[in-house]
Structure 1
């Protein structure tokens, strides 16, 4: 995604959240949603960014919501990319009830806090919607356990200024695993304008399966 967007003249930041990617060594039971909000807010403020199109995929819909609540003056647009879309005070369980089962498994596990990645399933579900063998192998090497606090801590949306930020929802409408649900998007956004919902005919990890098509959608917002 980064080279495609940069080739179109955009400045792009794709930070690893604490405990993932090049920060996997920082994984621990103390890491939670608030940690990841700090990661995003810290990047934006340290780089002195403004007019940011902030994209959150999956669980990161919670992250971008709380981050925008902290620094709404720096955010030009929120993009919920097949993401959890919370209300104030909600946690992942409220938005995606199937995560309650993941929390229970983590609490009963030897560690008491690790949520392992979902296993690969037969096509068309694959590994988060990825079915190409080479892409699956690459993705599997990128995955980390998720600290259970990420799913337990609530989102904070008490700043009224966050409601003024335009939103776009991108739904991946390929095969969806059993138990995973998606909230209906209200017809009117919090800022009073009509909802903007786009669809991609692919599985959950569209940045891997349809990067060009996703880039084209994001560039419409720049």
Structure 2
């Protein structure tokens, strides 16, 4: 029998743990253990949102969960902005991470922030600057088909997703990630790219041919919008199960 794997699924900006509701059961049905926490300022922690919530806060959220539950050999999955979060967490506790999975995610290097990785983020910060609470960035608006809301186009799914979204703190995009622990470079990485529905102005860094550990990069694609865990949960779960 295959040894159960522990997955920690980390949602992206504006989302919460419910974004994984269609993927987590598919993993647990195969006998695996799944944690899908809400980061500070989201979901059951929405009331904690404030200007001092940043990338460091969210990195601590993930590190604390792993340590509090004494988790080891973790497949740590980060969607979108959470690529920053899982990178920082791996820097803190690389010995507990068996693989990093970047799901249509920001992939930083040491000292970079979200603006460095995706310059479009600066426009969001600038847009919030003249508001009553310039530290808050509201969720991105729904776009015309086929882009929809974070790539979600089904009307019922859009209505559900909109009800889960909350504002993001500017500091999340401004704080640099720490990736200076040599041990984090040894952690294998897998990249899952959502292709075919990229909004105008959103550019993705090419995945380097080699991982930091010197191995060839593992890159998979899903023909879907950005929130693949909502639009293609079965296909995404299958990829996660293949890369353990």
What corresponds to 1:72 in structure 2? 94
Which position in structure 1 is the counterpart of 2:108?
86
Give the aligned partner of residue 193 of structure 2. 171
In structure 2, distance between residues paired with 1:108 and 1:148: 13
* Partner residue in 1 for 2:207: 185
- Structure 2 gaps of 5+ residues are 1-22
TM-score relative to the length of structure 2: 0.90
1:109 aligns with 2:135: no
Whether 1:47 aligns to 2:69 is: yes
For residue 108 of structure 1, report the CA deviation from its aligned partner. Answer: 2.2
1:81-160 superposed matches below 5 A: 81-160=103-182
Q: Runs in 1 of length 4+ with deviation above 6 angstroms?
A: none
The range that moved more, 171-180 or 103-112, is 103-112
Secondary structure of 1:86 counterpart = coil
| Greater mean alpha carbon deviation, residues 90-99 or residues 103-112 | 103-112
Tell me, what secondary structure is at the counterpart of 1:137? helix
- SS state at 1:108 partner: coil
* Deviation at residue 2 of structure 1 after TM alignment: 1.0
SS of equivalent residue, structure 1 residue 89: coil
Q: Offset of 1:107 from its aligned partner?
A: 2.3
Q: Where in structure 1 are there 5+ consecutive unaligned residues?
A: none
Q: TM-score, normalised by structure 1?
A: 0.99
State the number of aligned residues: 222
Greater alpha carbon shift after TM alignment, 150-159 vs 108-117: 108-117
